[in-house]
Chain A
Amino acid sequence: SYVLTQPPSVSVAPGQTARITCGGNNIGSKSVHWYQQKPGQAPVLVVYDDSDRPSGIPERFSGSNSGNTATLTISRVEAGDEADYYCQVWDSSSDHYVFGTGTKVTVL
């Protein structure tokens, strides 16, 4: 089955840039979606189709995808960005969705 690997944690100072990676075999050929989940809350879509943002999501959130790695970038990090982030793809070989292992972003 298809596996998506994320770093368990990323720490960043306020105002700096956080980069969260999502590794998978030839992930560049798939559409990657990213979700933010704060404690006790449901996930929220922050980036879809590699780099598009839903309405209401700040431009500080951006995404890219190439080769074996997709990346979610959070610019000018704020305290409110502290959350768990998950990547997701559709695996057409199994007709299943796959979530990444999740990354906890800590704002120092």
Chain B
Amino acid sequence: QVQLVQSGAEVKKPGASVKVSCKASGYTFTSYGISWVRQAPGQGLEWMGWISAYNGNTNYAQKLQGRVTMTTDTSTSTAYMELRSLRSDDTAVYYCARGALGLRVDYWGQGTLVTVSS
């Protein structure tokens, strides 16, 4: 069955960077893309961007342009999301999710809590 397993919780100081991983299994990794979505405490879902696992093409949310980088490692079927210059309002649960660009997202990872605090 399709599974997306994410790395564990992180605590970071303001100004630092965080890199979250998302290991896929149960399907052909390069046949789909990966979206990253975050959810601040008590808030709604916010789309961060998407990466093609086939060719590495990316599409980032405008508000995060310049601070976020999404990559994949096809040898391990793993996607990564790095967010730099962290601020307190980046505190959120970060999800990876499978889907082709422009279409539905059908499977989600379990989420990774990133806490930004001095």
A102 within 8 A of B: yes
For this complex, into which size category does the number of interface residues on chain B fall?
20 to 34
Residues B105 and A45 in contact, CB atoms below 8 Å apart: yes
Query: Is B45 a contact of A42 with CB atoms below 8 Å?
Result: no
A45 and B45 CA atoms in complex are apart in Å by 13
For chain A, which range describes its interface: under 10, 10 to 19, 20 to 34, or 35 or more residues?
20 to 34
- The reply to whether A48 and B47 form a contact with Cβ atoms under 8 Å apart is no
A45-B105, A88-B105 are known contacts; what are 5 more A-B pairs with Cβ within 8 Å? Answer: A35-B45, A43-B37, A86-B44, A97-B47, A102-B44
Q: Check B62 against A33 for contact (C-beta < 8 Å).
A: no
Given contacts A94-B62, A97-B47, A102-B45, contact A42 B102 (CB under 8 A): no
**Is the CB–CB distance between B108 and A43 below 8 Å?**
yes
In the complex, what's the smallest C-beta–C-beta distance from B105 to chain A, in angstroms?
Answer: 7
Fill in one digit per residue for A83-95: 1 if any B CB lies within 8 Å of its CB, else 0. Answer: 0001010101011
Closest CB-CB distance, A63 to chain B, in whole Å?
A: 12
- Interchain CB contact under 8 A, A44 and B102: no
